[in-house]
Structure 1
Amino acid sequence: MWKKNLFNSFKSQSVDLLVIAGEASGDEHANNLVQRILERFPELDIAVIGGKNLKNSGAHFLFDLVDHAVVGVFEVLKNYGFFKSLFAETLEWIRTHSPRNILLIDYPGFNLRLAEALRKENLSQKGGGGIRVLQYISPQLWAWKPKRRFKMAKVLDSLAVIFPFEVECYQDVDLPVSFVGHPFVTSEYKSPVHYDKQGSLLLLPGSRLQPIQRILPVFLDATEKLAQSYPHLKIEVPVPGTQIRRCVEQIISAKPTLQDRIVIKEGLHDLKACVALMSSGTMSFAFALAGIPGVIAYKAHPITYLIGKLLVKVPYLGMANLLLSKEPPYKEFIQSEANRLSLSSSIEKLLGNEESGEEFRNASLKLRSLLEGAQELDAVDWLADELAKA
């Protein structure tokens, strides 16, 4: 049995678009897209499943999926009952309200299963029904499970990608794919951080509870050592919301020597950094584009790590390092290599290098040049064109 009524009530008679984003980064990108499409077409009736950003987008907010985000095989299995209930209720909502279009934002474990279910139930156009199923932001096929493109071609009507090289990943399947530009290099995007030689050491442990609980204690071990060598170094932990703040506060409370040194800052904006200690993820890429010196570290559940090591075939975790693989700008420390000594010594080297700011600024310029590919249209134009086809 699954518990009904996870969703907020919805009274509209018609739905032009249902948007589903399951992670913090997707929620941010989706919010920008929804706000801009509503500015252009305010008459659209849009419902959203996402996070706090989409909640304030001007669309009908159904459920906070981002608040329940998990990563890794072990973590998904632990929460299987909840995701089974959520999946069933999402399908039931779609059956009841029949949105003309559904826009999936990345999050392939949930979203591609949903697209397949819609096809099997003859609800989507690919299954003979009337709902168009679109996707914004591709799964990282070039990193793992490239055969997913065949399933995607069977269940999606159109795909918009944010890296120019991703278009080639789908050349051998019958799926319309458009490069719409990366949201972090658009004119509307405001970087959350700027390089400041007199700024803070920023600790970025991620946006999900389980990864934060694994990596933040290690960050604090390294920070404790750094604080001894740099007594005037400002240290901040930016947090995206209240739930993450409580988690961070609890972990920091176990380090009494740091409680008066660390400032927890609500919100991922208006940050000034001289250096950053980061978990791999979307925020680390934003920092790379801003030219922030730093180090990437990551700790997964041992089972998740072992499975990932078998499936993932890329030399780096950080997107900046993957794109600049011949000269990766960020040192990476994974699992046991992410420890007090390795992280603190790497940050010390960056703090002691007068040229590090310039070196990372040059890396950011290289990244931007790579992302400025032959963009056919931007994300809003792509979505507008697709909605017109329904």
Structure 2
Amino acid sequence: MSAFPSIPAHFDRPRAGEVDVLVVAGEHSGDQHAAKVVAELLKVRPGLRIVAFGGPQLRTAGAQLLMDMTTFSAVGIVEILSAYPFYRKLFSRIVAWTTQWKPKVVVLVDYPGLNLRLANELRKAGLSRAGFGETAVIQYVSPQLWAWKPKRRFTMARDLDGVGTIFPFEPACYADTKLDARFVGHPFAESDHQPGLTYDPDGPVLLLPGSRPKPVRKIFPALVEAFALFRQEHPKRRALVLHTGGEVHAELYRLLAEYGDQAKGIDLRPVSEGPAVGCAALVSSGTMSLTVALAGIPGAVVYRANPLTWIVGRRLIAGRVDNLGIANILLKRQAWPEYLQGACEPAPLAARLRECIEAPGPRAQAVADAGELLSLLSAQSGSTPAEWVATFLPK
């Protein structure tokens, strides 16, 4: 856990005296997405008074930053419990500031663990329109109700005045509620998005086991062994493992050391070093699987978990989604074959890598599927995130 900063007894007053938009973004990705929205809003309405609990990108975009929320986090049960007093104090002071200054719109960006609680508190305080107040409280980036805790939609409908979704099928998740849910496009489909991956036929094989230590421990061994089998026929090929640093990097390094010569040709690199290239990919289900798909990189989606976790998880999502990879969910078919739990074994994974490298079909299909995904994820004219937020502002 990174060090937690001190929380001021009172956050700064808004420099402009009043607040049109308050943004709450608690992670680096949220700071990045929110900064784009703020920059677009200020292009159209340069006089808007925007304040944020967020990160440096929001400040650069033109918001008055009250506190950097991207410099701290708690991961793991021990750290979360020890961090509880910090988060309780932070939460209460955000609520106090918001109820004092009464912004016209509060934009909660992703981060549902904090933001949905904040929406509930603002409703109970009578600030939000949902609580018969005058402030619109809206959520940008819907929680993945289609995969986890779908009943949250009812408390969200009670507490929020709107939700902007980044997947086109998500508004339907709220169809049985009164909540105004609109698809506003995915950040990866925006014209100025800088992709983290691109296809290169001479590039390395990408081994992407995820960004959390426990899944990495379960998934990465199968990827190492699969690449070793693949390399028997392609000895000059190398593999690249992108990681988020910290505990994940340590776990990857430990596993590679355990495999010794069997792990030859595998390199580790932090995601923070910038864009990477690849010729094929074995990728854990998650955000990175969508990045791979949009890059037109052929490969497969992989996943392994503790057997009990797997059984419980499959029961929880049964009937709601047929696939784990987000690209496959969007396309309603296994465009990227999925090797899950017992099927996530070295031999079939190595065979899939050989197919991606040796035959033109998988790459051609991946390019076609990437184009279809981009079309599905692109916002329609008049429904970008900034345009959506603007609809909640007074004319």
TM-score class, shorter-chain normalisation, is: 0.7 to 0.9
Q: What is residue 199 of structure 1 aligned with on the other side? A: 203
Residues 48-127 of structure 1 aligned to structure 2 (within 5 Å):
48-49=53-54, 60=65, 61-64=67-70, 67-68=73-74, 80-82=80-82, 84-98=84-98, 100=103, 101-127=105-131
1:47 to 31, 49, 52: 52
The 8 Å contact of residues 184 and 379 in structure 2, kept in 1 or not, is answered as: no
The 8 Å contact of residues 219 and 304 in structure 2, kept in 1 or not, is answered as: yes
Q: 1:359 is matched by which residue type in structure 2?
A: Q
The 8 Å contact of residues 231 and 237 in structure 2, kept in 1 or not, is answered as: yes
Residues 1:82 and 1:121: Cα distance change in structure 2 (over 3 Å): farther
Q: 1:184 is matched by which residue type in structure 2?
A: F
Distance in 2 of aligned mates of 1:221 and 1:44: 55
Deviations 1:149-188 (A, max 9, x none): 2221111112111223323333332222222112221211
Distance in 1 of aligned mates of 2:71 and 2:213: 14
Residues 1:110 and 1:226: Cα distance change in structure 2 (over 3 Å): farther
1:297 to 295, 302, 315: 302
1:212 to 209, 216, 233: 216
Q: Quick check: 1:320 aligned with 2:324?
A: no
Q: What is residue 356 of structure 1 aligned with on the other side? A: 362
Residues 1:272 and 1:109: Cα distance change in structure 2 (over 3 Å): same
The 8 Å contact of residues 238 and 267 in structure 1, kept in 2 or not, is answered as: no
Distance in 1 of aligned mates of 2:161 and 2:382: 18
Distance in 2 of aligned mates of 1:243 and 1:83: 18
Equivalent pairs, count: 378
Q: Quick check: 1:273 aligned with 2:313?
A: no
Distance in 1 of aligned mates of 2:60 and 2:223: 32
Q: Quick check: 1:146 aligned with 2:150?
A: yes
Query: 3-state SS of the aligned residue for 1:254?
Result: helix
Unaligned runs of 5+ in 1: 70-74
TM-aligned CA deviation for residue 365 of structure 1: 1.9
Q: 1:348 is matched by which residue type in structure 2?
A: R
Query: 3-state SS of the aligned residue for 2:204?
Result: strand
Q: 2:326 is matched by which residue type in structure 1?
A: M
Distance in 2 of aligned mates of 1:337 and 1:139: 28
Deviations 1:296-330 (A, max 9, x none): 112234454333222113111111111222x4211
Distance in 1 of aligned mates of 2:370 and 2:62: 33
Query: 3-state SS of the aligned residue for 2:202?
Result: strand
Q: 1:322 is matched by which residue type in structure 2?
A: I
Q: What is residue 345 of structure 1 aligned with on the other side? A: 351
Distance in 1 of aligned mates of 2:59 and 2:284: 26
After superposition, the CA RMSD in angstroms is 3.4
When structure 1 is superposed on structure 2, of 138-147 and 194-203 the one drifting more is: 138-147
Unaligned runs of 5+ in 2: none
Percent identity of paired positions between Structure 1 and Structure 2: 33
Residues 1:95 and 1:320: Cα distance change in structure 2 (over 3 Å): closer
Instruction: Tell me the TM-score normalised to structure 2 length.
Output: 0.81
Distance in 1 of aligned mates of 2:72 and 2:58: 10
Distance in 2 of aligned mates of 1:298 and 1:8: 43
Query: 3-state SS of the aligned residue for 1:297?
Result: strand
Distance in 1 of aligned mates of 2:250 and 2:60: 22
Q: Quick check: 1:229 aligned with 2:236?
A: no
Residues 1:25 and 1:333: Cα distance change in structure 2 (over 3 Å): farther
Query: 3-state SS of the aligned residue for 1:238?
Result: strand
Q: 1:316 is matched by which residue type in structure 2?
A: N
The 8 Å contact of residues 21 and 65 in structure 1, kept in 2 or not, is answered as: no
Q: 2:158 is matched by which residue type in structure 1?
A: K
Q: 2:348 is matched by which residue type in structure 1?
A: S
The 8 Å contact of residues 182 and 371 in structure 1, kept in 2 or not, is answered as: yes
Q: What is residue 376 of structure 2 aligned with on the other side? A: 370
Q: What is residue 30 of structure 1 aligned with on the other side? A: 34
The 8 Å contact of residues 236 and 265 in structure 1, kept in 2 or not, is answered as: no
Query: Considering only CA atoms, is the larger Rg found in Structure 1 or Structure 2?
Result: 2
The 8 Å contact of residues 238 and 266 in structure 2, kept in 1 or not, is answered as: yes
Residues 1:260 and 1:199: Cα distance change in structure 2 (over 3 Å): closer
TM-aligned CA deviation for residue 271 of structure 1: 1.9
1:249 to 250, 253, 273: 253
Residues 1:263 and 1:4: Cα distance change in structure 2 (over 3 Å): closer
The 8 Å contact of residues 238 and 268 in structure 1, kept in 2 or not, is answered as: no
Residues 1:192 and 1:4: Cα distance change in structure 2 (over 3 Å): closer
